[in-house]
Amino acid sequence: MKKFVFAAAIISIFAACLGVCAYAKGPDVIRIGVNAPLTGDIPKVGEGTKYAAQMWLKEVNAAGGIEVGGRKYKVELVIEDNEAKAESAVKATTKLITEEDVLAIVGPQASKQAIPAGGIANELGTPMISPWSTNPDTTKDRPFVFRGCFLDPFQGPVVANFVKSEFGFTKAAVLYDVASDYPKGLAEFFKKAWEGLNGAGSVVAYESFTTKDADFSSQLTKIINSGAQFLFTPQYYNEVALIVQQVRQLGWKKPIVGSDSWGSAETVKLCGKDCYGSFFSTHYAAAGAKGATREFIDRYQKAYGYVPDDVAALTWDSVRIVKQAVQNCGKLTGDMKTDRKCVRDAMAKIREFDGITGKMTFTEEGDPIKCAVIVRISDKGEFEFYKSVCP
Amino acid sequence: MESTGDELSINGKLKSSRVREFVAPIPLLSWLLGALVAVALEHYIGTSFAQTLGLRKAPMLFGFDIMLKQPTLIHSALTYLVLIYFLPIIVVARLSAAGMNGLAAILIDYPLMLTVLIHLGMLYAILHWWSNMSLYRADVLRFTLIAVLLTLSLNLINGYMGEFSCSHPGFMALGAYASSVFTLGLFADDRVFGPALLPQWLGPYLFPVALVLGGVVAAVGALAVAIPSFRTRGDYLAIISLAFMFIVKSLIENLEFVGGPRGLGDQPGWANRPVVFVTVVLGIWIINNFVRSTLGKALNAVRDNEMAADAMTVDTRQTKITAFLFGAFWAGVAGGLYAHALRYINPGSFGIQMLAEGLAMVYFGGLNSVYGSIVGACSISLLGEMLRPLELFKWIIIPLLLILVMIFRPTGLIAFREFDVKKLVRPKQASDR
């Protein structure tokens, strides 16, 4: 008897729920996918992506959604974790496209996930914009794939030109991770640019290490003894702290220059005073920002308690580019294939997009033409705007 | 209090034995038929049925995603699972049991190959229909099958040979790179290797050659670990094999012609569902035959006591080297499939994380057992995929499960069990246990 009552109760709950809880999804919803490394090696990157996207979502839905062709569409975000793995990034992208029916995808961030994921997005005809991937392969020959940042072949010369014009140095030292795609590529582009400016042999020390190394004393001693006038190290925030602290301990007082991978909120926290006074090239500068950039930083800081890093800023721009493209598309038919194509075409046509990381216009490859910013880490540990370098 | 406890346990036992009685006479053919009906049902009415339940689409991967992301829809997902999967499978399997037992009894008189092919054909039809619902399912299926092959090849060394090998990601990397260089060099207009040397249409036919080449290269690389393994055992071999993995990773990172740390991309996507399925089934079949052969038994003897095995005329050196190369070969093949399924490889992927996943699959499923490898690889890959919405908690739950398995079944879920195909496909009687 008890059993029977129990079974009846369960069945009736189910039956009742079917009518009440079931919600039919109206056609007036646009779904945007976010593919971010929420777990794995670079969780801070994933967090920045997620927060920026969620902040955007709140803003858009507070305004009643995106208006396309005179109709308001509510927006839903589908956030997938790619574990900072290539395989998972591909699975997450496939899931977003085929199971979640998203109109466009923002992410993945790191190139090693963005390259394979971009292949899938392009094959399945879904616009994807990677805010942070700087590897040329991500967008190469892929009409559906875009990015929100400048590329390594641009950044290398920017750093070289900046140092040349600012200090007039002629001898450079480079320390980079040979096992990681981004530092290695950038180190090569920098070397080429520097030798173009100062002649062959002007990179007097070109030292490398392997990911997860923690002791750089032998490379740094070589660099110090080489007579280089400054050190360029395009590394991620955790290694930057180790390298800079160790080289300062060894008595090096000359300038240290970095790249956009320094631009994390963690860099100064880990590195402390040793990093003050260093320069790096990046996408935007938080301290001393004005206008829309200031507004974004303030809102982000209020909501999540820290100054957003470049990943958050680039994600913010990328989701706004998606929004702009959806609006420019003019009309959504409800057929995913046509709509995605329409959004892609609209995105490719965007001119002079006014982002918080600079004005952007996409090239045919889907790469933006935009300015780089040189940032100085101030004596208070803030990222201070120093100079803007445009292509 | 005690008496009620006893009653309960008796009651529980009674129930489980009733379930067993209900299930016992059902042959494998009936289960397959039931599953076939279920996936057919899903294929034809799944989407519309899901929509009447208030779901947007047929729930992927058994509804876990929906249950975790939108708890208010749990009941819909459960209803869907029961009505589309559970009930049809049970009902069809039970009803067709008598007929299928008769069919199995007839088939048993024919060569085993025929029976096996019929079963495999049905299995493929089920997987095909199931994964046709969306590309995501197809992707999960492919990577799970590849994980099965990798786990099996690792089990060969860690389970059957009883050594702790950490070099499998290295073997897989060798296989992946060798086969990618082969296909990219010959059939694709690539930036690194120049224009295609052979016409495109020939490619899929030569893909098996690429896979075998990947396997052979991995096996040759395995020699570097196999030779020191004559002298060392246990921890020392583990260290040597770990070193080998790092050597391979650094080697590829410094080889500019395969892209270095940038990785190698745009492999032709020839590792589609049928190719992966056939390769993996072939791998399971050959590995299963290997471990049940004299050589396989010799391998077990070496594991249990090398000196005794030597005294009993087992050539321990040859046995170990064969097993090592054999295991590495299949890891290389798995790597070739992986490269052409993912269509992008970089040395960073073949590191500690992949090793940890592979070892987890082997030890979760069970040592020294083909069943165990299949179960372990499927459950860890599917769990990883199903619990993805939990983000960080996923990395707590899966290791916790692993710890629980290690406490209650120290050798894994299904360890030391022989994979006897004949026993699997024969007709069942109610008295069978």
Phi, psi of A380 (to 5 degrees): -100, 0
What are the tokens at B155? Answer: 């089990």
Q: What is the pLDDT of residues A326-366, one digit of tens each?
A: 999 888 888 889 999 999 999 998 888 888 888 888 888 88
- Considering only the beta carbons, identify the residue of B60, B79, B265 that sits closest to A115: B265
Q: At what angle do helices B168-187 and B203-226 cross, to 10 degrees?
A: 150
Check if the beta carbon of residue B217 is closer than 8 Å to that of residue B174: yes
B 79-138: CB under 8 A from A: 79, 134-136
Instruction: Specify the pairing of strand A71-81 against strand A29-36.
Output: parallel
Domain A152-282 sits in which CATH superfamily? Answer: Response regulator (3.40.50.2300)
* Cis status of the peptide bond prior to A391, with omega within 30 of 0: no
> Closest approach of chain A CAs to the CA of B391, in angstroms?
6
**Which residues on B lie below 8 Å from A39 (Cβ)?**
391-392, 394-395
Domain ranges of chain B: 2-132, 135-423
Type of residue numbered B302: V
**Among chain B residues, CA nearest to A136:** B262
**For residue B315, pLDDT beyond 60:** yes
Domain A29-150+291-370 sits in which CATH superfamily? Answer: Response regulator (3.40.50.2300)
Q: What is the pLDDT along chain A (391 residues), one digit of tens a residue?
A: 566 565 655 555 555 444 444 444 455 789 999 999 998 878 888 999 999 999 999 999 998 888 888 888 899 999 999 988 888 999 999 999 998 889 999 989 988 899 999 999 999 999 999 998 888 888 888 999 999 888 888 889 999 999 999 899 999 999 999 888 888 889 999 999 999 999 888 999 999 998 888 899 999 999 999 989 999 999 988 889 999 999 999 999 899 999 988 887 788 888 888 889 999 998 888 777 788 889 999 999 999 998 888 889 999 999 999 999 999 988 888 888 999 999 999 999 888 888 888 888 888 888 888 888 899 998 888 888 888 888 7
Q: From the CA atom positions of chain B, what is the Rg in Å?
A: 23
Please give the pLDDT value at position B2: 42
Phi, psi of A290 (to 5 degrees): -125, 170
One fold for both A29-150+291-370 and A152-282?
Answer: yes
User: What is the rounded CA–CA span in Å between residue A131 and residue A149?
Assistant: 6
User: What is the rounded CA–CA span in Å between residue A102 and residue A124?
Assistant: 12
> Closest approach of chain B CAs to the CA of A47, in angstroms?
12
Q: What is the pLDDT of residues A119-171, one digit of tens each?
A: 999 999 999 999 988 888 888 889 999 998 888 888 899 999 999 998 999 99
What are the tokens at A124? Answer: 């399945």
Q: Hey, what's the torsion of the CAs at B152, B156, B160, B166, to 10 degrees? A: -110
Verify whether the Cβ–Cβ distance B262 to A18 is below 8 Å: no
Phi, psi of A74 (to 5 degrees): -70, 155
Does the beta carbon of B349 lie under 8 angstroms from any beta carbon of chain A?
yes
Check if the beta carbon of residue B179 is closer than 8 Å to that of residue B214: yes
Percent helix, strand and coil across chain A, each rounded to 5? 45, 20, 35
ipTM above 0.85, yes or no: yes
Percent of chain B with pLDDT over 90: 44
Domain ranges of chain A: 29-150+291-370, 152-282
DSSP string, A275-286: GTT-EEEES--S
Q: What is the pLDDT of residues B268-277, one digit of tens each?
A: 889 899 999 9
Single out the residue of A214, A165, A206 nearest to residue A186, CA to CA.
A206
Does the beta carbon of B252 lie under 8 angstroms from any beta carbon of chain A?
no
List CB contacts of B264: < 8 A, sequence separation 6 or more.
B177, B180, B181, B184, B192, B258, B339, B344, B345, B346
**Which residues on A lie below 8 Å from B353 (Cβ)?**
85
Fold category of B135-423 in CATH: ABC transporter involved in vitamin B12 uptake, BtuC (1.10.3470)
Please give the pLDDT value at position B182: 92
Please give the pLDDT value at position B144: 95
Q: What is the pLDDT of residues B237-262, one digit of tens each?
A: 888 899 999 999 999 988 888 888 88
Please give the pLDDT value at position B52: 86
B 258-277: CB under 8 A from A: 260-263, 265-266
User: What is the rounded CA–CA span in Å between residue B345 and residue B349?
Assistant: 7
